Chain A
């Protein structure tokens, strides 16, 4: 079945460092891909999305490109801030699938130190 694999955390960075969180997926069709972020004590918020190959999603300085050839959707940010500390989830759409409409990776916890 469809699945999402993302790098294990936690990831600890200093402020203004470059961030990459790797995400790869397995899917039989052509899913949409998402990055969600969860701040402490809150639900999940959509960070960015891409709906077809070579699309680049971007928001709040974060970017991810839908790479069909490598089945990847890595999250990047050029200069992280303390306020970016959160858990990041990669996900793909699976309409009507038995795992729900979105299949999530395990999450990567990011801690940014001042």
Chain B
């Protein structure tokens, strides 16, 4: 069973640009979550999508957005990049409670964004 796939793995952008990151969940998983990981703040929840709908959103500005497609693949977008957006962006997928799921998330390897 293929794992969670994130693309691109590495990218470099300059301030003011925008970026789109992609995530393909494990086959059969319909929930996709995004996290930002930085040395200072640790793992911070961005948002979660299920069946193309945003279920939850963390405390991030509106520059951070996401969406999910009918095949459960998800993208996140960051507009008007700032230096502080440099981070590892992690995508995770899961099935939802009620399907035998105990809350476990399955993570991709992440997309490392550097903003210059």
Contacts and interface: CB of A to CB of B under 8 A. Distances in A.
Q: Do A and B come from one complex?
A: yes
Interface of A: 31-32, 34, 36, 42-46, 49, 51, 89, 93-102, 104-107
Contacts of A31: 103
Q: What bracket does the count of chain B residues touching chain A fall in?
A: 20 to 34
Given A99-B58, A100-B56, 14 more contacts: A34-B103, A42-B109, A43-B4, A43-B90, A44-B90, A44-B105, A44-B107, A95-B96, A96-B56, A97-B56, A99-B45, A100-B48, A101-B94, A107-B43
Main secondary structure of the interface of B (DSSP, over half): strand
Main secondary structure of the interface of A (DSSP, over half): loop
Interface in B7-48: 31, 33, 35, 42-43, 45, 48
B107 A45 contact: yes
A112 to B, nearest CB: 21
A18 to B, nearest CB: 26
